[in-house]
Structure 1
Amino acid sequence: MTHDVAELKQFAVLHAKAQDLGAAPAVLDRIQSDDGDRPGSWVREWSREADRLRREDRLLAAAAHYNMARFPFVDGDARAGALENCVDTFARWAAPRGISRLELTVRGARVRCWARGLSARERRPVLVMCGGIVSIKEQWGPALTAITRLGLAGVVVELPGVGENPLRYDADSGQLFSAVLDEIAGRADVSACYLLAFSFSGHAALRCALADRRIRGVVTAGAPVAHFFRDREWQAGLPRITVDTLEHLTGTPVDGLASWALTEHELSSLDIPVGYAASARDEIIPAADPGLVAAHVRDAELVVHDDVHGSPGFIAPTRLWAVHTILRMRGGRPAHRAAVAAALKVARWQARTGSRRKKVVAGGQADSGRKHRETLGSDREDRRRAHPGDADPHVS
């Protein structure tokens, strides 16, 4: 498959910024085609920069550039080679930092993850992290060092069909989270699990939480809920790269996914806290979807940025908001929460002054009496349900 280069470049911006790829503009300027591994092609130019960084022993940066080379998904030998280089290079970076491979069998297939902080002797509560339909586990793996510093065990997985995950992406893909918990039950406190699931994995996380009582909270950003799957008019306006990726992963036309939609009854039955960061100008997820979360999830916190999908202008505050939200759900130590809240205020101020954009808050989308936070750095603390054992998390 050959992708439209202009669209590839457009959607690469968010992922390049999220991985702090300062050389991305220069690489993008050299790209003229998506023709395999030829000079000037998408894969060749990203890989060439990655090769240089790897020779300089800048392994994490090299892995990130290989990741961009295989973006948005593996569709041939060139991108398959880039993915292999990405995984191998990340593994070299990860090993001395205590990040190890975790493998489990799901539906008869072997699924590979990255993990840190698992221990049969000191079983910590666990945070399972997952990206969306175009981001692989190596993109999120570096977060494992921060997760364990907060007293949690961490596992990073991929949606089925993404990266090294060989499964087919379908409506039941949320079962992957339960399979991870089953696998690590002897090395983590899986009765206290939190899911940090971005984009399409947020939908899978919500569906999994309906059935798996071990999940105590879900934090997501830009997740489809119901309207994305049902609204054919909206689907007709989706970016080609999104449609191609979804159809590649699911083996189903986008307009055939209506049965994936979560119902209002299902959302209302969730008795765990849910945090959702949305983008006011999202070209992929309709505004009605975060509105459903606000209107029907009992304990919902919704924050909306004035930005496009993924809120590239608000990456730092969104990350910190996600961590702060997890800590509040968890009942993390006050010192940890205060430190993250302080950093969040700074990041929010920097995003506001740097972009001159105003954050749009979701209170007007759904007048349901649900809780919303107007500022990411607010000192107010939402009351969360207390769970046994949540008051004293382990600290590494």
Structure 2
Amino acid sequence: MNDLDELKRYIVAHARGQRIGKLQEKLDSIVDDGDGPGSWVTQWSAAAAALERRGQLLPASRHYIMARFPYPDRPTRTRAAHDAAATFERWRAGRDLHPLDFEHDGHPVRCWQSGLSSARPRPLVVIMGGHLTVKEQWAPRLGVFRRLGLAAVVADIPRIGGNTVPYDAGAHRFLSSLLDAVGDRADVRQTYAIALSFSGHLALRCALEDPRLRGVVTAGAPIRSFFTDEAWQARLPRVTTDTLSHLTGLGLDQLGDWVIGPAQLAALRIPVAAVASTRDEIIPREDLLVLRDNVRDFRMLVHDDVHGAPNHTLESMAWTALSIQRMRGRSALPLRLLLRAARLRAAL
């Protein structure tokens, strides 16, 4: 059973990114993390079912995703995860949003894609969330990148949702298999990654080995101290440590070989951009500094916020899209204006 206060605290960034309305009212109605009336999974699932009955399939899927948070640890959450995927599948029918299936080392992976075309291969953007999210949270945004002239794929990180690849020290190589799978329908020699939190770690490790990855935008990615600083690890919330243990089958003290060192970062020949939070309680400040001090082409957006920057969602989204266009050497005036508006809104 999860710590209820932690669930309520760490769902905020995810819920705001999913445009979940009346969030505090919903959280106040939850009294425990069991399976009975008033529990986390029951309340979120009931809200999702009510939306589903009204035909509001995307909001329903988003509420089911909240119900399975932080991961399917028992049958009720597993059912919520299934319902999230099923309602999303119904919502996306008839839209330019299609399944992409491939295998990595014999492990099936399902993604969502938009804009892949053998007749007109476009540069590719790959989007991944962190260790607490599923691809259906990000898939509705693929159209934004299609309108920017990119093909787009959204993937789960290993052991989440449609990605059955083991989450181990070699898990980042599934990204190369993804690029192989779409190489006839996208210009994968120009691939960019938007990789948040723990998927940022995966994307950077992939970039060290695969030259097709031409830029990475991340936020709150573990790099070095997260995997080695025992004092920091002792202060981490259970929602982080329990989820990582569930996904990897390992304790934090067994992840030392996941470190990306300064020499590896210095060897990167691609631009890297990162959203940072000054009060990040998950990722040590040193992990951001090692990026800043060693990556040759590095940009940073800093928020006075906690992990995930829940109070700056729109600004982070606009800056992320703008960063991709900068990496491509493309003009992005509308995105600059959107970023300016988001900053003004945050200030007000």
- Structures share a fold, TM > 0.5? yes
What aligned pairs does 1:1-396 form with structure 2 within 5 A after superposition? 2-36=1-35, 38-332=36-330, 334=331, 337-353=332-348
- Identity across matched positions, percent: 46
Q: CA deviation at 1:202?
A: 0.3
Paired residue type of 1:10: R
Q: Which residue of 2 aligns with 1:376?
A: none
* Most deviating of 15-24 and 234-243: 15-24
Residue by residue over 1:117-139, the C-alpha shift from the partner in whole angstroms, topping out at 9 and shown as x without a partner, is 01100100000000000010000
Q: CA deviation at 1:48?
A: 0.4
Q: CA deviation at 1:352?
A: 2.1
SS at match of 1:204: helix
Mapped partners of 1:102, 1:250: distance in 2: 24
Q: CA deviation at 1:69?
A: 0.4
Q: CA deviation at 1:9?
A: 0.8
Q: Which residue of 2 aligns with 1:357?
A: none
Paired residue type of 1:339: P
Q: CA deviation at 1:26?
A: 2.1
Contact 2:165 2:174 in 1 (8 A): no
Q: CA deviation at 1:66?
A: 0.3
Q: CA deviation at 1:174?
A: 1.2
SS at match of 1:142: helix
Q: CA deviation at 1:304?
A: 1.3
SS at match of 2:127: strand
Residue by residue over 1:336-387, the C-alpha shift from the partner in whole angstroms, topping out at 9 and shown as x without a partner, is x00000010010111122xxxxxxxxxxxxxxxxxxxxxxxxxxxxxxxxxx
Contact 2:201 2:222 in 1 (8 A): yes
SS at match of 1:102: strand
**Which segments of 5 or more consecutive residues in structure 1 lack a partner in the other structure?**
354-396
Q: Which residue of 2 aligns with 1:382?
A: none
SS at match of 1:174: helix
Mapped partners of 1:137, 1:65: distance in 2: 14
Q: CA deviation at 1:189?
A: 0.6
Mapped partners of 2:261, 2:194: distance in 1: 21
Paired residue type of 1:343: L
Mapped partners of 1:95, 1:254: distance in 2: 41
Contact 2:112 2:153 in 1 (8 A): yes
Q: CA deviation at 1:111?
A: 0.8
Residue by residue over 1:230-262, the C-alpha shift from the partner in whole angstroms, topping out at 9 and shown as x without a partner, is 111100000111000011111000121111110
**Which segments of 5 or more consecutive residues in structure 2 lack a partner in the other structure?**
none
Residue by residue over 1:120-163, the C-alpha shift from the partner in whole angstroms, topping out at 9 and shown as x without a partner, is 00100000000000010000111111111111000000111122
Between the two proteins, the alignment pairs up a number of residues equal to 348
Q: CA deviation at 1:34?
A: 1.2
Contact 1:243 1:254 in 2 (8 A): yes
Mapped partners of 1:35, 1:163: distance in 2: 22
Mapped partners of 2:344, 2:223: distance in 1: 30
Q: CA deviation at 1:23?
A: 2.7
TM-score, normalised relative to structure 1: 0.87
Mapped partners of 1:73, 1:328: distance in 2: 35
Residue by residue over 1:243-293, the C-alpha shift from the partner in whole angstroms, topping out at 9 and shown as x without a partner, is 000111110001211111101110000010000111000000001111111
SS at match of 2:165: coil
TM-score, normalised relative to structure 2: 0.98
SS at match of 2:171: coil
